[in-house]
Amino acid sequence: MKKPRDLLFLGLAIALHSAPYAHGQAAHRVGLADNREGYESTQYKTQSEAVLEQSGQRLPLAEQANDPQLGLPRIAKALHSEEVDLGRQLFFDRRLSANANLSCAMCHVPEQGFTQNELATPVGDEGRGGRRNAPSLYNLAFQPSLFWDGREHSLEAQVWSPLLARNEMANPSKEAVLERLTSIPAYESAFAAHYDQGLTAQTLGLALAAYQRALISGNSPFDRWYFASSKNTGDFSSQAARGFDVFKNQGCQSCHTVGGEYALFTDGDFHNTGTGLLREERGIMPKQVQVAPGVFVIPRVDVETETFIDEGRQEVTGRSEDRWRYRTPSLRNVALTAPYMHDGSIRSLEDVVTFYVQGGGHDPHQDQRIRPLDITAEEQEALVEFLRTLTASNVDALVADARSIEIGDRDNTAY
């Protein structure tokens, strides 16, 4: 058995006291986030489980990703397993951040849908806050643009954004990251074995992108009901089917698209649903964030943008009509990725549906399709039930795969 590691608490980059952990309990499962009831009190005891063991089952992710899954298209370029393995190792390595404490996986937590359930907007290096919710990383291979405002298009280039952002991993320069990784013999030899040019800013991006592209997850109960040639209604209830009717009839599908052969549940486009106005009405100054019981920080301004003001797509195009437009998120695995919206302002799927029923944020400039819906309470419940059927069959397997590696940190000399 591997050495227990109790440093990594899911969802938080902060080591609290040792968490209760019953032996024999499944070490790897989805949904380990704490509900934080009574969190205001300094007596608070977390119910979050620490990742004590890295003992998950490794999957042949590259081979699996090369085969299309039910409900999803084929990936554009075949993946190579050595590259995916290298990317997986890097994704969990805390030495990728300036003070070796924060890995990509601590904001994109495998058990929490590769996002963070506990914080609306994550806290990065030295408690510096960000202004947006961490998106899930499932099915990125099919996404034409990245970030809530679509400012990036290449997954390979994107990695440098969190690596260098002062409120994320806070590295002073690309050179500093490359130097640190080159000094770790296992990385040096793995990069030399796989890439002619060895470890460079570009190959680091290639490896991390390969792992993220391999996080493909379809074949949900909805897919088995909607796309399978022999209709399998096993885990797709008649209530979910009613919910899908509501989804189509109320126009959700026009932005969260479902095609004839596959369904990405996003049009890849940018729309104003009124969330920007609601955020402005709540006040643009950031509230204090509780990062541990009794420990509060007031996030300083988002260092990358030097503001907490968020104009959405307008920041990329400069066009005023793009103000508060955000990229339509895919709804695949949406039951796992709370809280919702670009600012994490809505806590549950029930509340998202209520938001739509009430006509969004009532911004006069919002998309005209966002308008009060005349549906019954039963129809609302059915809609939520439908959204819950979009959870893929392989999410537990992807978590176990993620936990199959030894996390890289200062004490880990193997990698």
Backbone φ/ψ region at 328: left (φ over 0), alpha (ψ -120 to 50), beta: beta
Q: Could you identify the residue written with the tokens 């013999």?
A: 185
Least Å from the CB of residue 57 to ligand HEC: 23
Q: How many CB atoms lie within 10 A of CB 239?
A: 16
Is the Cα dihedral 328, 332, 333, 334 positive or negative? Answer: positive
Please report how close the Cβ of residue 329 comes to ligand HEC at its closest, in angstroms. Answer: 4
Q: What is the closest distance, in whole angstroms, from the C-beta atom of residue 20 to ligand HEC in the complex? A: 26
87 binds ligand HEC, rule: CB under 6 A: no
Residue 327 or 403 with smaller CB distance to ligand HEC: 327
Instruction: Answer yes or no whether residue 340 interacts with ligand HEC by CB under 6 A.
Output: yes
53, 405 Cβ separation under 8 angstroms: no
Applying CB under 6 A, the span of 21-29, 32-40, 234-242, 334-342 interacting with ligand HEC comes to 334-342
Tokens (6 digits) for 357: 């029923």
Peptide bond into 162 cis (omega under 30): no
The nearer residue to ligand HEC, 27 or 241, going by C-beta atoms, is 241
Which of 243, 222, 237 is CA-nearest to residue 375?
Answer: 243
- Which of 328, 333, 389, 391 contacts ligand HEC by CB under 6 A? 328
Member of 273, 380, 391, 394 binding ligand HEC (CB under 6 A): 273
C-alpha distances in angstroms, 307 versus 1, 118, 153, 325? 47, 23, 23, 18
Structural tokens at position 279 = 């955020």
208 binds ligand HEC (CB under 6 A): yes
Site for ligand HEC in 159-178 (CB under 6 A): 159, 162-163, 168-169
Q: Is residue 392 involved in binding ligand HEC (CB under 6 A)?
A: no
Q: Is 122 in the site for ligand HEC (CB under 6 A)?
A: yes
- The CA angle 16-87-399, to the nearest 5 degrees, is 55
- Find, among 342, 274, 331, the residue nearest to 308 by Cα: 342
Q: For ligand HEC, which stretch binds (CB under 6 A), given 33-41, 47-55, 251-259, 403-411?
A: 251-259
CA-based nearest residue to 351, from 392, 305, 387: 387
Residues 6+ apart with CB under 8 A from 82: 190, 193, 194
**In degrees, to the nearest 5, what angle opens at C-alpha 16 toward C-alphas 13 and 20?**
120
**What radius of gyration, in Å, describes the C-alpha atoms of the chain?**
21
Candidates 369, 396, 397, 404: give the one binding ligand HEC (CB under 6 A): 369
Map residues 123-142 to x or -, x wherever contact with ligand HEC holds by CB under 6 A: -x-----x-x-xx-x--x--
Residues 171, 159: contact at Cβ < 8 Å? no
Closest contact distance (angstroms) between CB of 328 and ligand HEC is 4
| Candidate residues 9, 92, 142, 148; the one interacting with ligand HEC per rule CB under 6 A | 148
Told to check if 107 binds ligand HEC by CB under 6 A, we report yes
| CA 276, chain centre distance (Å) | 21
User: Where do we find the tokens 């486009």?
Assistant: 269
Please, what is the minimum distance in Å from the beta carbon of residue 181 to ligand HEC?
12
Q: How many chain residues bind ligand HEC (CB under 6 A)?
A: 55
Residue 95 touching ligand HEC (CB under 6 A): no
* Site residues (vs ligand HEC, CB under 6 A): 96, 102, 104, 106-108, 122, 124, 130, 132, 134-135, 137, 140, 143, 146-148, 155, 158-159, 162-163, 168-169, 208, 212, 247, 250-252, 254-256, 271, 273, 275, 326, 328-329, 331, 334, 337, 340-342, 349, 352-353, 356, 367, 369-370, 383, 387
